[in-house]
Amino acid sequence: MADTGAAPSPSTPPAHSLLARAERFVWLTARVLEQRLFAHHFRDGGADPVVTALDAYRNGDGGYGHALEPDLRGPVSQPLHTAHALQVLDAVDRCGGQRVERMCRYLTAVSTPEGALPAVHPAQRGYPAAPFVPVVDDPPGALLTTGPVAGLLHRNDVWHAWLFRATDFCWQAVESLQISHPYEIEAAVAFLDSVPDRTRAQAAAGRLGLLVREQRLAVLDPDDRAAYPVAPGYAPGEHHFPYDFAPAPHSLARAWFTDDEMARSLDHLAAEQQQDGGWPVRWRHWAPAPALEARSMVTLDALRTLSAYGRPPS
């Protein structure tokens, strides 16, 4: 075809741009859900197609399954899947109504006696799961799961009986943390960023920020990653950076890092885009499909984080 010399339309990024390469990766590899999310965030796509794609993962008990969270395979509902579904609904401003009411009933049914969510419910037994998410018969409540869910419900002004005890659990867990790891801290931040008691949240976040720096949980110099320990059980090189703790400037965790530290971490994030246009999955790979599905999720997260900090990917 002859070159007409016409310039790209204003809505079309240059073919070499970070966004254009990521878009090609999404269309080549992503699930329909992540394709719809990409269109919503970066192509003015509507929310309804996102919700329709998410419905494919919904079960009759109000929970979500079918490998919505790629490291848990099989059809059964799981707290981690349901937490992911809430994140999707929040991203398209649909986190409310009867759909979320049914989700809260599911959360109530699978909660531990103290009102918290286990990381993995025993219903997963018999279906494939990542080796780093073991299935046990009587799992304890986990801040890792409960914190983000409680935070999202508070953020969207969803009030349900489940939330009161879950909030108490999260406060106790957050304020008693002494030795932790990055994913648990990030779950705590997800709770603190949205819980109504802002004075208490700011005080708790300040203490966690000191803990993160004292225990060297965040890589402050991307050029010297070897100087920062990887948490026990994590994959080699599974480091976390300031943007992981504060994926948007309004997060309480943003105050933990200097402007220079945050800028260097964002530079590192942008440079992590790979040749195929996607971002790498840093955690342990255990099967081909989960790794590929997770890459499109990680890619969307990277694009949204860069955009949140005023670094539009186009």
Name which of 10-24, 177-191, 212-226, 255-269 the model is least confident about: 10-24
Cα–Cα distance list, 289 to 76, 129, 150, 205 (Å): 18, 12, 29, 36
pLDDT confidence of 14, banded at 50, 70, 90?
low
Report the C-alpha gap between 91 and 71 in whole angstroms: 21
Residues 91-149 pLDDT 10s: 999 999 999 999 999 999 999 999 999 999 999 999 999 999 999 999 999 999 999 99
Residues 246-282 pLDDT 10s: 999 999 999 999 999 999 999 999 999 999 999 999 9
Q: Which pLDDT score, from 0 to 100, does residue 312 have?
A: 79
Output the average pLDDT for the chain: 94
Taking residues 198-202, report their average pLDDT: 98
Q: Which pLDDT score, from 0 to 100, does residue 16 have?
A: 77
Residue 9 has pLDDT above 90, yes or no: no
The residue assigned the tokens 């992981």 is: 244
Residues 29-88 pLDDT 10s: 999 999 999 999 999 999 999 999 999 999 999 999 999 999 999 999 999 999 999 999
